[in-house]
Structure 1
Amino acid sequence: MTQTFGYIRVSTLDQNTIRQLDGEQFDRVFTDKASGKDQNRPELAKLIDFARDGDTVLVHSMDRLARNLDDLRAIVRQLTDKKVQVRFVKENLTFTGDDTAMATFLLSVMGAFAEFERALIRERQREGITLAKKAGVYKGRSKALNDEQAAEVARRSAAGEAKAALAREFGVSRQTIYEYLQPDHH
């Protein structure tokens, strides 16, 4: 029996998973909560492993499946090589592995546009931040820990407390704890 799977990737910026594949019917949904730059997407790996000949994978849009063209082509090829259909809802495109040259071309062009669009957005963000800094409006992110908390973390970590436990207690990531423990952290 063939099945239909949904794949959803949400970043920390847009936690609304429901909207992505609203109104679609599936047997199972795989959801990764990861930033686009993060290549570690365990649910996507599970989905690729799980999908079988005749199954269909639904994804809201190409940029939800992959962050760059090479990644997009590789994932679509991995799935279609297993005779799994890949359908992008927003772009209204389906890939089957028996794709025509035109379909393969569309995958490349639309994927390239998505990549280009993200680059433009990042560039506009950087320009906006630069202008805001010049105007004295942009202060950057506030510190995760104040000086007193940072000193306490350093003291307790040196005394052998687990960094993961400290991170939980102070409501920050382990990475943040490690950054505060760097000798050159201000």
Structure 2
Amino acid sequence: MNSSRTYAYLRASTDEQNADRARNQLLEFATLHGIGISAFFVENESGASLYRPELMRLLDVAQKGDVLLVEQVDRLSRLDARNWETLTTMIKGKGIRVVALDLPTSQMMLKPGDEFTDRMMQAINGMMLDMLAAISRKDYEDRRRRQAQGIEQAKAAGKFKGRQVDNGLHERVLKLRAAGMSYTEIQQTTNVARSTISRILKSQSPE
């Protein structure tokens, strides 16, 4: 009897994004493959950062043979080579199986077979994960470079105004805090990063 569990990891890279679409896709995938999702770990953090609280919590909870389920590999990583190696070492060290909807070979890991087949699939899956992680990192770096170039061009043209404040979000966070909600409760309600919540609250504190 297979006692392994499946943990879904959802990451939105900006405060404006939400994980509802990805959550629905993972639920549909789980239903299609006859598996249950034991828990969802959701956060608004950059995939270029190794230390993401919810990802680290998932890795701490998961046991050998459990599945880490993601919509796309870039939801798990936009890390540079050194940090990606650190993350994969952590995952392999715990014996966790990574399954991504955009990586068909990984989906074969849902139903472990004999030892030889499992080792072969782990090797193939590892290579494919490395490749997609490298592509995700390059896409991240290319996007940042284009963004920086666009900002420089806008500055040169006198059109750059910087990042605009989301007044609606600020108002919601302040009202929720005034109502007595904790940082965690506000994060769950607004689906924004704790760092953003802290920044908004500090901006309203007296000097």
Q: Tell me the distance in 2 between the aligned counterparts of 1:43 and 1:35.
A: 12
Q: Tell me the distance in 2 between the aligned counterparts of 1:37 and 1:136.
A: 30
Which among 65, 68, 71 is matched to residue 54 of structure 1?
65
TM value normalised by structure 2: 0.61
Change (3 A) 1:24 1:105: closer
Count residues with an aligned counterpart: 154
Q: Tell me the distance in 2 between the aligned counterparts of 1:132 and 1:113.
A: 28
Is structure 2 residue 95 aligned with structure 1 residue 83? yes
SS in 2 for 1:24: helix
Q: CA deviation at 1:86?
A: 0.6
Q: Which has the higher contact order (CA 8 A, sep 6+)?
A: 2
Judge which range, 113-122 or 88-97, deviates more. Answer: 88-97
Is structure 2 residue 40 aligned with structure 1 residue 29? yes
Name whichever structure is richer in helix by fraction. 2
Larger Rg belongs to: 1
Match of 2:144 in 1: 122
Q: Any idea what the Cα deviations from partners look like across 1:104-143, whole Å, max 9, x if unmatched?
A: 3333222111111111101111111111222222222358
Moved over 4 A (4+): none
Structure 1 vs Structure 2 CA RMSD: 3.2
Match of 2:196 in 1: none
Q: Show structure 1 runs of 5+ residues with no match.
A: 145-170, 182-186
Q: Among the aligned pairs, what percent are the same residue?
A: 28
8 Å CA contact retained: 2:50, 2:87: no
Q: Tell me the distance in 2 between the aligned counterparts of 1:143 and 1:48.
A: 34
TM value normalised by structure 1: 0.67
Q: CA deviation at 1:67?
A: 2.6
Q: Show structure 2 runs of 5+ residues with no match.
A: 31-36, 110-117, 167-198
